[in-house]
Structure 1
């Protein structure tokens, strides 16, 4: 079986959506992918990446094969279905955050919404996302297949060691809280910094590690100003992008993982942290309760005082921390990339 794999920008970076596709397709032995991507030539030629993006439909039109199933691997490429006549189409739609959360009026997202409605099947990652796609895009629920992400347990597993923290100037005696993700408004990082500041009044020897890029204009500057106002310049450490191996090492080095996001289509970092034996506090909003179940603390992402209490309890109650670790390890094993690959193959065969 050959699939027209319409994947957008060609990149070696691994992040949520690209990780999802690579994990699943690495397990589909009998499926050949006709990769249709556009190269990142912006750094070499100076061509704006937006120009590359709008040239992509011409590349797709030239390279698709008529009888192949067409798999558009992310929701922000769904506009292709509106701009050209494609048969046997699947779109993987992880979330519709621009529409459902930010209420965008971006014309490209109007095209994406129209394109999503033309897909013969939509694959999404959670029951929450399925309901939002149905509600906001007006797409029939019976044509939406839930295929959740999972954890690579050969990479994310308990291998506890604080050794890697020395490169960030963190001593063995200090407690370390980790956040992995962007800094856009829905990620609620300013709330986290406020909560951390109050926690530091109770546990002076604590650091906050922040992994990931800003991903939103002006947000890093605002965050740095907040950190300076709270006098946390030495206590909040920005790490930037990490490889998966480095990330697994960091999950294993910290005392607590926090994820106070206001809106997620799924949310993989809490699952990865649990697979490494790290206790997790996350939000009680959107898809996150569906992901973590009773294996993590589900906190109100608007209540700073309560969030501080939850962090303090995990960092000071060893028995409670061990119980959370046990539950987290058990929960993380429910999610299997092999099962997700089998479900994806079933969708391909149906078309």
Structure 2
């Protein structure tokens, strides 16, 4: 596989060894800025390099014909050394976004280039991960992309970087134009960016951005589909229906999956939906389950006991529910299960992570007389989430639909028994390592939870099964599967060199 440095054309004075460079328009008004850019590019161009961080201004990108509200850019490249380099600044006009130059050489603390590395530069396969826009942030998609990029970091023969437009500009925030800026970035500046990126393989990590295929070489593009919940809800009873405009917009976007070289599905359930609802041929589908971070593991008993005392507010038992607040998370059923358990004399509380109860759900909790036993934790970081998984007696997860289902897997990895609905994807993930009932079966779900709370032997058995089951879902296995897909796609033809010849412009 050819590296991006050997793109089949002579390098220009502004082309770095990786093929990722900025290119300025040489106008009389920008002469000073162009001179600074050339000086910085010469510092990057002469050796095998690791990473440098360059502050590229919005005005510089605007000189390439981008509107001020859509010109912030983020290109993230893995760092072989694990140590970020100080960044020579290119500042012009307004405050700037950050550009990470792939394979750019480290700069010394005074901004001067470090000596060339003696390491050989073998040909490698270049992959660009196309991430969702960061507003609003999508934690699951960012985690997925982060794990992929980190997983390829130490694999020889791979150069995996990330691309996305950057955070909201100060101007947009000041005038509350973030939604407009996001819309412009999605339909205009992000496609312009990806059209100019050189790579052997492109990977759209979020299926709802599949429309980017219109700006990419389709034979070299992979898309990960996490779920088609909105489309499945139109033809099956999964407990909710999306709004018509939302469904139409979603359908227009995901129909582009038919054009991808490969569609990676995180579960067999999702692969079935892609095949049935979009008509994608089975030979282009690959089922590659998500992995689980090593950060989720059983904590020491003394730490768990201290955390329980603080979190449970004097209650003896605890259920944990992790929820985005979406209808399919079936929050109302968790409240009914809590009420049933307390009516049977069990002193149990419900710890809720994520979006708080709505007014209607709070009214239901008061009607069921369980409001004092509902303890909101809000949005938490991974460290706190691990702690909550460990201190909970049972995770309850009665979703009416899932494309994969990370919370049960994370809970099992922490040694917490799980009770879930029997929807297809959760049955895939949990297997026989958890107890299940139908999503709306309050009695069945309550009986399963009661069994785990009152029988220590049963709880211990499901803790053992859960830890063993979670150990099967490693990111190493996911990365190996993706590497095979990338190899298949990379062999489909010559690498994509970006448009307009010479060093590509990052817009």
Is the pair's TM-score, using the shorter chain for normalization, greater than 0.5?
Answer: yes
2:168, 2:181 within 8 Å by CA — same for their partners in 1? no
How far apart are the structure 2 equivalents of 1:85 and 1:12? 24
2:298, 2:413 within 8 Å by CA — same for their partners in 1? yes
Look up the match of 2:270: 129
2:295, 2:386 within 8 Å by CA — same for their partners in 1? no
Look up the match of 1:61: 191
Q: Verify: 1:163 aligned to 2:306, yes or no.
A: yes
Look up the match of 2:164: 36
Q: 1:260 to 1:68 in 2, by over 3 A?
A: same
2:413, 2:470 within 8 Å by CA — same for their partners in 1? yes
2:131, 2:141 within 8 Å by CA — same for their partners in 1? no
How far apart are the structure 2 equivalents of 1:127 and 1:2? 28
Q: Mind listing any 5+ residue stretches in structure 1 that lack a counterpart?
A: none
Query: Counterparts in 2 of 1:178-327, with a 5 A limit?
Result: 178-213=320-355, 220-327=358-465
Look up the match of 2:148: 24
Q: For 1:247-303, what per-residue CA distance to the aligned partner results, in whole angstroms no more than 9, with x for missing partners?
A: 001111111111000100010110110111111101111211110110000112121
Stretch deviating more after TM superposition (158-167 or 105-114) = 158-167
- Paired residues, number: 345
Q: 1:11 to 1:159 in 2, by over 3 A?
A: farther
Q: Secondary structure at the match of 1:20?
A: helix
Report how far residue 33 of structure 1 moved.
0.7
Stretch deviating more after TM superposition (152-161 or 175-184) = 152-161
Q: For 1:60-106, what per-residue CA distance to the aligned partner results, in whole angstroms no more than 9, with x for missing partners?
A: 33322254422111011112225x45432111110011111236633
Q: Secondary structure at the match of 1:139?
A: coil
1:262, 1:286 within 8 Å by CA — same for their partners in 2? no
Stretch deviating more after TM superposition (48-57 or 92-101) = 48-57
How far apart are the structure 1 equivalents of 2:368 and 2:327? 19
Q: 1:131 to 1:169 in 2, by over 3 A?
A: closer
2:265, 2:285 within 8 Å by CA — same for their partners in 1? yes
Report how far residue 170 of structure 1 moved.
1.9
Instruction: Tell me the TM-score normalised to structure 2 length.
Output: 0.64
Q: Verify: 1:147 aligned to 2:288, yes or no.
A: yes
Instruction: Tell me the TM-score normalised to structure 1 length.
Output: 0.91
Find the structure with the greater CA-based Rg: 2
How far apart are the structure 1 equivalents of 2:162 and 2:448? 48
How far apart are the structure 2 equivalents of 1:103 and 1:213? 19
Report how far residue 246 of structure 1 moved.
0.7
Report how far residue 23 of structure 1 moved.
1.5
1:280, 1:297 within 8 Å by CA — same for their partners in 2? yes
Q: Mind listing any 5+ residue stretches in structure 2 that lack a counterpart?
A: 1-124, 234-240, 490-507
